[in-house]
Amino acid sequence: MVRNFSGDPRQLAQLEAEAASHSWSETQYRDALQAGYPLFGLFAPDGDLLGFCLTMTVLDEAEILNIAIAKAHQGQGHGRLLLTSVLGALASTGTRRVFLEVRASNAPARKLYQNCGFAACGLRKNYYPAALGREDAILMEATP
Q: Of the candidates 11, 14, 74, 84, which one interacts with ligand COA according to CB under 6 A?
A: 74
Minimum CB distance to ligand COA, residue 32 (Å): 14
- Residue 19 touching ligand COA (CB under 6 A): yes
Tell me the site size for ligand COA, rule CB under 6 A: 20
Conformational region of residue 88, where left means phi above 0, alpha means psi within -120 to 50, and beta covers everything else: alpha
DSSP codes joined into one string, 102-128: EETT-HHHHHHHHHTT-EEEEEEEEEE
From the candidates 26, 61, 63, 101, give the one annotated as an active-site residue: 101
Q: CA-based angle 6:43:34, to the nearest 5?
A: 15
Per-residue binding string, ligand COA, 106-125, x by CB under 6 A, is: xxxx-xx--x----------
Catalytic residue annotation: 101, 113
